[in-house]
Amino acid sequence: MTTGNGAASRASEFFLRREVLITVALLLVLTWLLVSRGVSLLLTILIDFAIFTIVTLSLNLEVGFTGIPQFGRVIAVIAGAFAVGAIPGRLLAWFMGLPHGLSYAEDAVNYKVVPQLSEVLAGNAFLAVVFFLFSLVLAALCGAAIGWLASRPAIRLREAYLGISLLAFGDFFMWAGHNWEPLVGGTTAVFVPDPFRIVWGYRFQAVVITMLVVTLLIYLYVERLTRSPFGRALRMLRDSDVAAGVSGKNIVRVRTQSLMIGSALAAVAGGMYVIYTGTCTAIGFTRLTWTFWPWAYMMLGGIGSNAGVVLGVLLLTTMRSIITVYRFKLFGFLTVWGIDPLWLEYALMGLVIVVVVLFMPHGLIPAKVEPILPLGRVKKALERTAQG
């Protein structure tokens, strides 16, 4: 009876935990949205969840585990998006004998060439898979290169100075792509060949499943990485770079590796995003969407907590979608006072963030201090020491 009561008590404690209750509530809300609004809204939420989970996990790796004030997350996202928007289509066009040089990004040429490339991918499943995987690998490599470039000021600058520098980097790359037309069309969006055209009737569903699988793999990778000796080195650097240096850690190399890995992951998200939308336009990658929203997700979930990041992204993306869908229906009366419900998304999301900071300053799932060795191994080591 004692064992049964203990198991029941542990089960009761588990289901009364805050993160479990929030997860159950979110699942109920998503079920309600599926019934009331249909599958399309649910799939849209899942796509946003997948993309921003990857971006926020990469941000958490650099901020929550390494302690870098990363206010330029948009840099890596842009790198991945520009790489996928500019290179794979050109290579395929070159292979097919179509225009592939600087004129590829001109709207009069791009709008004719890319549909032909998509038709070729639609007729060859193997080529479509290779094109997709090549795009993601290329995005990751370009993101890692941008991460290395961003790590150069990170070697010398700290805190606010580094944050401002990374923020400026992000705006520089966005405006460079916006004004240099041969890259991704400049002010006109460039089309991206669609590797999902082969499942055209179920493209939306195929994109969602693929993105969720990639997100799961990246989550497992980040979890394994942060629990490894390298992850412990990151936390040591975050807590005290002096102690890390004294213990023999190469601070420059560890910080550079963190930025390169985080940027590579964020670039994969940027590449998948332009493949999903089918277009790449520089002006669409703003610091609000691709830097400050991931910061909000990370703060809500718990800085330094990968599980918290996932829950925070799911909660806020669901709330943003609900606010977007129902803002005119629920708050349309505000137009009488000259208030446009169109902007309520930002006001209400800002209110949510303020409430979270006030009442849950460490997030939904705060980061836990984990021992270097599992408790069981520590006990066995102590027992062997006592016996010896």
Digit-coded pLDDT (tens) for 260-294: 999 999 999 999 999 999 999 988 898 888 988 99
Alpha-carbon span 63 to 298, nearest angstrom: 9
Residues with Cβ within 8 Å of residue 246, at least 6 apart in sequence: none
Element (H, E) at 190: strand 190-191
Confidence check: pLDDT of 7 > 60: no
Q: Is 38 exposed, middle or buried (0-12, 13-18, 19+ CB in 10 A)?
A: exposed
pLDDT digits (tens, 9 = 90+) for 30-40: 888 888 888 88
Q: What is the pLDDT of residue 350?
A: 79
The first and second tokens of residue 67, run together, are 């302690």
Q: What is the pLDDT of residue 121?
A: 93
- Range in 52-56, 153-157, 350-354 with the lowest mean pLDDT: 153-157
Distance of alpha carbon 294 from alpha carbon 31, whole angstroms: 25
More confident residue, 336 or 132: 132
Quick one: 230 exposed, middle or buried, by C-beta within 10 A (0-12, 13-18, 19+)? middle
Instruction: Please name which of 95, 92, 146 lies closest in space to residue 268, comparing C-alpha atoms.
Output: 146
User: Can you give the pLDDT at residue 15?
Assistant: 44
Per the model's pLDDT, the better-predicted residue between 169 and 73 turns out to be 73
Tokens at 79, concatenated? 């790198």
- Which pLDDT score is estimated for 273? 96
Contacts of 352 (CB under 8 A, 6+ apart): 300, 316, 319
**Contact 48/56 with Cβ under 8 angstroms?**
no
- The ranges assigned to domains in the chain are 16-332+342-383
Mean pLDDT score, 364-372 = 72
Are 102 and 112 contacting, i.e. CB atoms less than 8 angstroms apart? no
- Residue 114, pLDDT above cutoff 90: yes
Confidence of residue 362 (pLDDT cuts 50, 70, 90): confident
Give residue 315's identity as a one-letter amino acid code.
L
Identify the pLDDT of residue 1: 45
pLDDT band of residue 239 (cuts 50, 70, 90) is confident
Is the pLDDT at 10 greater than 70, yes or no? no
Confidence of residue 219 (pLDDT cuts 50, 70, 90): very high
Residues 158-170: tens digit of each pLDDT? 667 777 888 888 8
Domain 16-332+342-383 class in CATH: mainly alpha
- Kindly state the percentage of the chain with pLDDT values over 90: 38
Confidence of residue 145 (pLDDT cuts 50, 70, 90): very high
The answer to whether 265 touches 218, Cβ cutoff 8 Å, is: yes
Are the beta carbons of 163 and 157 closer than 8 angstroms?
A: no
pLDDT at 257: 92
d(C-alpha 384, C-alpha 2), whole Å: 31
What confidence tier does 341 reach under pLDDT thresholds 50, 70, 90? Answer: confident
Q: Is the pLDDT of residue 14 over 70?
A: no
Residue 100: pLDDT over 90: no
Residue 367: is its pLDDT beyond 60? yes
Q: Inform me whether the pLDDT recorded for 154 exceeds 70.
A: no
Beta pairing partners, 190: 280
Query: From residue 356, how far is each of 45, 95, 302, 312 by CA, in Å?
Result: 21, 53, 10, 11
Q: Is a pLDDT exceeding 60 seen at residue 9?
A: no
pLDDT over threshold 60, residue 80? yes
pTM: 0.88
pLDDT in tens, 184-201: 988 888 999 999 998 888
The share of the chain scoring above pLDDT 70, in percent, equals: 91
